[in-house]
Amino acid sequence: MNICIVTGANSGMGMVTIQALLERGDRVIATVRSEKKATLLVQMLREHGVSHTNLEIEIVQLDQLESVRRFADHLFDQIGRIDRLILNAGVMVPPYHLTKDGFESQFQVNYLSHFYLIERLLPLLQHGNDPRVISISSLAGEGGLVRTDIELESIAHVKKEQYNPMRSYRESKLLQMVHMRELADKYGDDVTFVSVHPGIVNTDLFYRGKYGKAMKVLLKPIAQIGYWTGKLYTPEYGAKTALYLATTNDRLDNGGYYADSAPRLSNPVVEDTRYREDARRLSKKWVGLD
């Protein structure tokens, strides 16, 4: 039995992922944003006939570093190892908002809070059974351009008048890839770190952002056409690559980037060793781990 942590588990690919892991007999610790989401998750699992005996649900607010810290402390108190850490939670092109920690919300939710969680949990991962960290990134990250610490600062603390929601989303996804590659260099003998483009998946992520209402009008009626043509994935299909990476016995490309269960060419920025080191150093400072 593997011990698996899955963030953003209450719907879409997260729910599909934990359902598959529970059906394998794994122990799953899932994070959601609220008690309401926790109740909904249990209800959906029951509707699918999935036992939640091996499921623990934790409330974690990824826009609050203190919430992430409490969750990490809880894991150290409750378990001695982590075998799979699947970072699925995220937001996409929301209206401008600074978190209580002072960061642009996409930067913190998609990247910085997950960065903090991984860094805190490294000792538990190093005691795991063939431990793997799987970060759900995006095709958008392939177009990310940030490559200096000054640019990183400008994304993390962007001013409202300079905020471009798609740019902030793109750079947050690039940083996920950068972090996985850097950790593979540092700890790759003990833990496997990979990032994933799941495809363009029809989930609630499209409908919660700044253009959510418009996306609901435009996308939902044509979703079936997207499925038929292969341009749009269901959550079940979107979760396939992450589940492959979590369960395969194949040798994985440590630090690599995957799509459709196969390696994919990543953003060249990921190979910039100096930037990777600068990004990790600055991020550790922001979360209080320097």
pLDDT at residue number 226: 41
**Does residue 223 carry a pLDDT above 50?**
no
Q: What is the per-residue pLDDT for 166? A: 93
Question: Do the beta carbons of residue 27 and residue 3 sit within 8 Å?
Answer: yes
Q: What number is the average pLDDT over the span 236-248?
A: 92
Structural domain boundaries enclosing 159: 3-199+235-287
Q: Choosing from 105, 113, 135, 137, which is the catalytic residue?
A: 137
26 φ/ψ angles, rounded to the nearest 5 degrees: -75, 155
Number of domains in the chain: 1
The per-residue pLDDT for range 57-82, each reduced to its tens digit, is 999 999 999 999 999 999 999 999 99
Give the CATH number of the domain where residue 246 resides.
Answer: 3.40.50.720
What is the chain's mean pLDDT, rounded?
A: 88
Percentage of residues in the chain with pLDDT exceeding 70? 88
Note whether residue 227 is domain-resident.
Answer: no
Q: Helices 240-247 and 12-23 meet at what angle, rounded to 10?
A: 30
Q: What angle do CA 258, 134, 269 make, to 5 degrees?
A: 55
Q: Residue 175 — very low, low, confident or very high, per pLDDT cuts 50/70/90?
A: very high
- Note the pLDDT tens digit of each residue in 108-158: 999 999 999 999 999 999 999 999 999 999 888 898 888 888 899 999 999
Please report whether residue 24 resides in a domain: yes
Q: Is 173 a catalytic residue?
A: yes
pLDDT tens by residue, 256-275: 999 999 999 989 999 999 99
Query: What's the pLDDT band for 234 if we cut at 50, 70, 90?
Result: confident
Residue, of 180 and 37, whose pLDDT is higher? 180
Look up 169 and say whether it is catalytic: yes
Q: Is the pTM of this model over 0.85?
A: yes
Q: Is residue 217 part of a domain?
A: no
Note whether residue 105 is domain-resident: yes
**Could you tell me if residue 23 is inside a domain?**
yes
In a domain, 206, yes or no: no
Q: pLDDT tens digit string along 22-32? A: 999 999 999 99
Which residue(s) pair with 84 in the sheet? 4, 132
Position 9 scores a pLDDT of 80
Catalytic residue among 116, 138, 168, 169: 169
Residue 214 lies in a domain: no
What is the pLDDT at residue 246? 97
How would residue 232 be classed by pLDDT, with cut points 50, 70 and 90? low
Residue 204 lies in a domain: no
pLDDT at 198: 83
Q: Note the pLDDT of residue 282.
A: 96
Q: Which residue has the higher pLDDT, 222 or 85?
A: 85
Q: Identify the DSSP state of 231.
A: S
What residues contact 72, with CB distance under 8 A and at least 6 apart? 116, 117, 120, 121
How far apart (Å, rounded) are the C-alpha atoms in residues 74 and 215?
A: 38
Choose, from 105, 111, 173, 258, the residue flagged as catalytic.
Answer: 173
